[in-house]
Structure 1
C-alpha cells in the first residue's frame, strides 16, 4: 500500500488521474451501481477528491468517503456534497461496521496480495452478510488481477458473487481499440457485458460478504 506521503505527492496537482473528464466511465459505473446503492448508506474506500462520490453515489442515502491523502480529502470536503462526509485515514484501519454497502472502486491495485487478503477478511468480519462492490483490472499482469484469481479469493473467503459487470476495454491489440471507440457511441456501453473476457480491462464485482452465525 502506498503511504499518505506518496499519495499527497500524487495530489500535488488536482485530479492527477484526470478522472473528472471520464464521463463515459461515470455513465457505466452509474448503470452498474445504482441498483445496489440507491437510498443506502455507503462506505467509499479510496475516495480521493470525491469525484466518484459526486458523480456516482449521489443517489445513496449517505456516503462516508475515506482516503489516506489528507490533501485529497480537503478537496473532497470542499465539494460540500449534501449526502457525504469525508475522513482522512488508512482504510485498512478504519471501521467497516454499520454500512449497507462498502465500495472499493479502483483502489485494490494499490494493495499487495497480503493487504488485499486482509481487506477481504476485514469486510467478511465487520460487514457480515452485506454488499461489497469492488472494481479493478483483470488483465493478469504479474498474475495479480485475473478474473479467475479474484473469484478464487472471493469464494475461498466465503463471498458470494452476485453479479459482475465489464467496465472498460483493453486497448491492445488494435482490434480492441476499435471496440473501445465503438462502445462510446450512444447506448453502446450497454453491450460491454457481451464483449469477450480477453478484451476486458476492468471489471466490477458485486459480492455478498459471508454471514456470521
Structure 2
C-alpha cells in the first residue's frame, strides 16, 4: 500500500487522476448505487478530494469520507457538503462499525493481496450482515482485480454477492473503442451489463458481509 506521503505527492496537483472529468462514470455509478445508499449512512473509503462524495452520494443520509492524504481531505472539506464530513485516516486502521454501507470505490486495488484479505476480513468482522460496495479495474489479473480471484475471495470469507455492474469498457483492442463510444450515446449505458467480461475495464460489486455469530 502506498503511504500518506506518496498520496500527498500525487495531490500536489489538484485532481491528479482527472476524476472530476469522468461524467459518464459518475452517471453509471449514480444509477447503480442509488438503491443501496438512499437515506443510508455511508462510510466512503479513499474519498480523495470528495468528488464522488458530491457527485454520487448526495442521496445518502450521511457520509463519512476518509482518505490517507490530508492534502486531499483539506480539499474535500472545502466543498462544505451538507451531508458529509471528512477525516484523514488509513482505512485499514479506521473503525468500520456503525454504518449502513461501506463504499470502497477505485481504491482497494492499491492494497497488496495480503492487505486486501485483511481488509475484507475487517469488513466481515466489523460490518456484519451489511452492504459493501467495491469497484475497480478487472483488466489485469496480476496488478489489479480479476473477477474469478475476487469471487473466490468474497465467497471464501462468506460475502454474498448481491449485484455486479459493469462500469466502463476497456479501450484495447481498438475494436472496443467502437463499443465504448456507443454506450455513451443516450441510454447506451443501460447496455453495459450485457457486454462480455473481456471487454470490461471497471466493475462494481455489491456484497453483503457475513453475519458474525
TM class by shorter chain equals: over 0.9
Residue 16 of structure 1 aligns to a residue whose secondary structure is coil
The answer for the alignment partner of 2:12 in structure 1 is 12
Which secondary structure state, in structure 2, belongs to the residue aligned with residue 122 of structure 1?
helix
Aligned-partner Cα distance in 1 for 2:181–2:108: 26
TM, length-normalised to structure 1: 0.99
Q: Deviations over 1:181-202 (max 9, x none)?
A: 1100011001000001110011
> Residues 85-117 of structure 1, C-alpha deviation per residue, up to 9 Å, x if partnerless?
000000000000000000000001110001100
Task: Give the alignment's Cα RMSD to 1 decimal.
Answer: 0.8
Whether the 8 Å CA contact 1:113–1:144 is kept in 2: the answer is: no
Per-residue CA distance 1:143-190 (angstroms, 9 max, x = gap): 651100000000000000000000000111111111011100011001
Match of 2:100 in 1: 100
Specify the alignment match of 1:39 in structure 2. Answer: 39
User: SS at 1:93's partner residue?
Assistant: coil
User: Structure 1: 5+ residue runs without aligned partners?
Assistant: none
Structure 2: distance between partners of 1:142 and 1:23: 28
What residue in structure 1 maps to residue 129 of structure 2? 129
Determine if the alignment matches structure 1 residue 30 to structure 2 residue 30. Answer: yes
Matched with 2:79 is 79
* Moved segments of 4+, more than 3 Å: none
SS where residue 82 of structure 2 aligns? coil
Aligned to 2:186: 186
SS in 2 for 1:24: helix
TM-score normalized by structure 2? 0.99
Q: CA deviation at 1:140?
A: 2.9
The residue aligned with 1:152 is: 152
Counterpart Cα distance in 2 of 1:88 and 1:72: 9
